[in-house]
Amino acid sequence: MNFLEVTFPTESQIPAIVALDRHCLSEPWTAEGYARELDSSNSHIVILQPAEVTAASPLIGLACLWAIVEEAHITRLAIHPDHQRRGLGQVLLLSLLTIAQHCGLEWATLEVKASNQRRSPYTSAWAFNPSDAAATTTLTGKMP
């Protein structure tokens, strides 16, 4: 059985993070941007990878939040297409919400492009409430 782990990335993983970001998201961040995020005390990045990492191990997912006053603003949530529709995005979302709770944040937002039809698990299973917007939907949920 292959086990996965959610962990905090190191600087040496930035190239793999950027590659996954470019593969999954329409507006990818740069390596410099991710390096700034790793150095910021207000940013929290988690990655999903095989528990037994080798040089050839793929990065399966990534997620990032910014702590802004009492808000956990989720800025990135991506799962490699080969691993989508298995609940792994929800694993990363739960990881971010756990971090947010430990940081004392009171609510969370997640902006999702209106064209992203795969966003429904986040609105229903996690009690995020969609707002009205044309290009993006801002999902807001109160922390428990």
Tens of pLDDT, residue by residue over 4-23, are 999 999 999 999 999 999 99
Check which CATH number belongs to the domain holding 125 and give it.
Answer: 3.40.630.30
Count structural domains, the chain.
1
User: What's the pLDDT tens digit per position in 67-83?
Assistant: 998 888 889 999 999 89
Domain that holds residue 123: 4-142
CA-nearest of 62, 55, 77, 70 to 126 is 77
What is the per-residue pLDDT across 105-127, written as a single tens digit (0 to 9) for each?
888 887 766 655 555 555 555 55
Mean pLDDT of all residues in the chain? Answer: 81
Pairing of strands 43-50, 107-113: unpaired
Query: What is the model's pTM?
Result: 0.81
DSSP state of 81: G
Q: Which of these, 46, 53, 70, lies nearest to 2 by C-alpha position?
A: 53
What mean pLDDT comes out for the span 14-40?
Answer: 93
